[in-house]
Structure 1
Amino acid sequence: MEESWLPCGEVNLSTPLNVTIRPINLTLGFIVQIFKAQVNEDKGLRAKDVALPVFWGLIVFFGVVGNLMVIIVILKGRQLRSTTNVFILNLSISDFLFIVCTVPFTLIIKLDQKWIFGDVWCKVMHYSQYVSCLLSIYTLVVMSMDRYLAIVHPLSSVRYRRVRYASGIVAGLWPIILLMMVPVLLGAKVVGADACDLGYLVIPESKNCLLFNSKEFVVVFFALAYALPLLAIVIMYALMLKRVWTRVGLGVMNDTSRNKSKRKVTRMIVVIVAVFGLCWLPLQVYLLVQMVDSTFGREEWQQVLLYVANALAYSNSSVNPLIYAFFSVQFRRSFMQVFSCCSGKPTFQHNVIDFGEPGTVAGGATRHTVLKRGSSLEETPM
């Protein structure tokens, strides 16, 4: 989601220059006044032109590098070994797609105020944007469902919480979401004064200003891509907490490595979901407010809010790799190994990141890592 839903032409309405220029009365003083007004406008734009590329450039850099590292680290192993890895891989691919296909082009729109990439890429950008957004949230839903089964039904769900089932779920998500977003692919087009937007959802108010015009789409997308998935996740974690408290009351819980690993994975997914909800909340609220009040978004402070809301939403795809690194020692080690693979130092040959708990999904409580140089064999507890 991006600003093209909203007024995409920034026009300074505070100091309009409603002047009829005629050669006979174009005095030197009048020229000086115009020059001063233009300089003031350029100063305002100059701050934005510097701040936006720097901040959004950081989002693109960390998003591309971080998610690419996660993809490489997971695929580098002989096997994924856990359902959580399958979902994390899919989430990283979705985040990578979102960063590459959306953020740079949205930044260009913000700075240049027009679309220069043609009708085809306009469709591709919007389509990939909505697809990756839905893929991210529903990947979080199935990750939470996996946690629910692991904690509430640990024994009966073992046969279903396997890599092949997780891979099948992920493979099923893609065609479903791709088909769901076909209307976006068909409707996105270049409209107005070289503006890229969903043509069937907007109406041109003026040459440089497009207003969102479909309340139904805003409500449906808010429900499907934000409210309902997060509600389902909250319900599942509430049931998990209830089960955990029941076990504690009965004195069943213990501090075995399996239970510790389960809790660690669960905490990681809770943080990922919470960050997703917080990052996307301002933009979702902004769109809902503008749905109610079509004039919202024209004031300068409202446009600043839009910049901040977009930045928060887009940064979500960049922070997930940091969350993985924070919760997984193995990920941090493998992350460093990828960077040092060309340094001539010993690197791990078969390193597999496993966020799954031992003895259930991953299939074992230890991991064997073979060094390329030397014949020593390490056993690292998961």
Structure 2
Amino acid sequence: MEKKLVSLSPPISLSDVEPNGTSSNHHSNRNCTIENFKREFYPIVYLIIFIWGALGNGFSIYVFLQPYKKPTSVNVFMLNLAISDLLFTSTLPFRVDYYLRGSNWIFGDLTCRIMSYSIYVNMYSSIYFLTVLSVVRFLATVHPFRLLHATSIRSAWILCGVIWLFIMAISTILLNNGSELKGNVTSCLELNSNKVMKLKTMNYIALVVGFLLPLCILSICYLLIIRTLLKVEVPESGLRLSHRKALTTIIIALIIFLLCFLPYHILRTLHLIMWKAGKCKDKLHKAVVISLALAAANSCFNPLLYYFAGENFKDRLKSALRKGHLQKKKCSFPVCTQLKKETRV
């Protein structure tokens, strides 16, 4: 059961709460109609996200790792974002099983702890990678020579390492609480009523540092890019390639923020403010469930960013597809059979 609380960012002790909408009293939870809704909603949605996210991000990683003459810092950030998404989607089958079993966890305490940890590490690492990616695009467009060191490959890998370490370290608090035996079932990802006040405080910190600050930075980059484009004389053919890619990157990042992360952070905050043990607010709970699914779906939308705004991504993609086609053509069944015969002779 995913109590909305868990959505708190790195500093949040979320592992007890994901958008459940039920109290820590398991029997009381069973009386809430939201339980049936989650059982029907989560497995289908998580399965779709798993298939789409695993294929999209797995293939994107393959494309990014293809040898290319000119590596860029932008692709470094996108590669790390794709890795984060792929790691997260690999945990979704466990969630699907949990809800199909009526919120009964069978995979052990450690795995339960990792479930909460994974979704928030992915959520906030995605937010930071998208933000840094947009800032780098902006700097490379507006100050291409003055800030070359900030967009170097080495600096990109160092910054990615800092982001990973920062979010993973602060999120370790989510590993403190695991599964809990309640009656004849084992619950996981439920709200602990004894920690509501602590979770509220952590939620506000996560809301500001993990979401509002990056959103403000993204918005400022967008406005400054627009301002730059209005000042620069643009060729008749349209925007210069660098400007177009910078603008595309920021626009897609803003769409992901507004569609995937904004509803969840708003509803999570409302959920924590209005939550009371033993009371079921079905409409709010269902809204939180849907918003968490949208937050998880960011891993499905990010491959669109790679395709439309990635540096040389389309060229790498064509090269990878061409290589695969040639290998398949060379080794079609009759040919391979003939080659084997010739080798034996």
Q: Same fold (TM over 0.5)?
A: yes
Q: Which residue of 1 aligns with 2:290?
A: 308
Alpha carbons of structure 1 residues 11 and 64: separation in structure 2 relative to 1, 3 Å: same
Q: Contact conserved, 1:203 with 1:213, CA < 8 A, in 2?
A: no
Instruction: Confirm whether residue 270 of structure 1 aligns to residue 251 of structure 2.
Output: yes
- Long gaps (5+) in structure 2: 4-16, 332-345
Kindly provide the amino acid, as one letter, of the partner of residue 307 in structure 1.
V
RMSD: 3.3
Considering Cα pairs closer than 8 Å and 6+ residues apart, tell me whether 1 or 2 has the greater RCO: 2
The match for 1:71 is 61
Asked if structure 1 preserves the Cα contact closer than 8 Å seen for 2:128 and 2:214, the reply is yes
Match of 1:317 in 2: 299
Q: Which residue number corresponds to residue 286 of structure 1?
A: 267
Give the residue type in structure 2 aligned to 1:312. Answer: L
Q: Return the offset for 1:72.
A: 0.8
1:371 is matched with none
Query: Do structure 1's residue 197 and structure 2's residue 189 form an aligned pair?
Result: yes
Go from structure 1 to structure 2 and tell me whether the alpha carbon gap of 1:315 and 1:338 turns closer, same or farther (over 3 Å shift): farther
Mapped to 1, the partners of 2:321 and 2:145 lie a distance apart of: 36
Residue equivalent to 1:7: 21
Aligned residue in 2 for 1:156: 146
Change (3 A) 1:52 1:178: closer
Matches of 2:50 and 2:61, distance apart in 1: 16
Q: Is 1:333 aligned to 2:318, yes or no?
A: yes
Contact 1:80 1:163 in 2 (8 A): no
Percent same amino acid at aligned positions?
A: 28
Tell me which structure has the larger Cα radius of gyration: 1
The residue identity in structure 2 corresponding to 1:274 is: I
Partners in 2 of 1:282 and 1:212 — Cα distance?
22
Q: Does the CA contact (< 8 Å) of 2:72 and 2:153 recur in 1?
A: yes
Match of 2:206 in 1: 221
Aligned pairs (5 A) from 1:339-358: 340=325, 343-344=328-329
- Given the two structures, how large is their TM-score scaled by the length of structure 2? 0.76
Q: Deviations over 1:58-90 (max 9, x none)?
A: 110010111011111111215661111011101
CA offset at residue 337 of structure 1? 4.4
- Quote the offset at 1:240 in angstroms: 2.5
Q: CA contact under 8 A between 1:212 and 1:294: conserved in structure 2? A: no
Say if 1:13 and 1:288 are closer, same or farther in 2 by CA, change over 3 A: closer
Describe the shift of the 1:213–1:163 C-alpha distance in structure 2 as closer, same or farther (beyond 3 A).
closer
Of Structure 1 and Structure 2, the greater strand share is in: 1
Looking at structure 1, the residues matched to 119 and 104 of structure 2 have their Cα atoms a distance apart, in angstroms, of 18
Q: CA deviation at 1:263?
A: 1.3
Give, in whole Å, the separation in 2 of the partners of 1:338 and 1:64.
Answer: 22
Gaps of 5+ in 1: 15-43, 205-209, 347-382
1:237 aligns to 2:222 (yes or no): yes
**Structure 2: distance between partners of 1:331 and 1:280:** 30
Deviation at 1:166, TM superposition (A): 1.0
What is the distance in 2 between the residues matched to 1:122 and 1:53?
17
1:260 counterpart residue number: 241
Q: How many angstroms does 1:153 deviate by?
A: 1.2
Separation in structure 1 between the aligned mates of residue 38 and residue 199 of structure 2, nearest angstrom: 30
Deviations 1:311-363 (A, max 9, x none): 211111112113433456435525644764752269xxxxxxxxxxxxxxxxx
Q: Higher helix fraction: Structure 1 or Structure 2?
A: 2
Q: CA deviation at 1:2?
A: 4.3
Residues 239 and 78 of structure 1: CA distance in aligned 2, closer, same or farther (over 3 Å) = closer
Evaluate the alpha carbon distance shift between residue 13 and residue 319 of structure 1 in structure 2; reply closer, same or farther with a 3 A threshold. Answer: closer
User: In structure 2, what is the equivalent of residue 181 of structure 1?
Assistant: 171
Distance between the aligned counterparts of 1:218 and 1:100, measured in 2? 26
Aligned length: 304
Specify the code of the residue in structure 1 equivalent to 2:229: V
**TM-score when scaled to structure 1?**
0.69
1:193-247 CA deviation, whole Å, 9 max, x = no partner? 222237xx7227xxxxx97862111111222221111112212222222233233
Contact 1:202 1:212 in 2 (8 A): no
Work out the CA distance in 1 between the residues paired with 2:133 and 2:308.
18
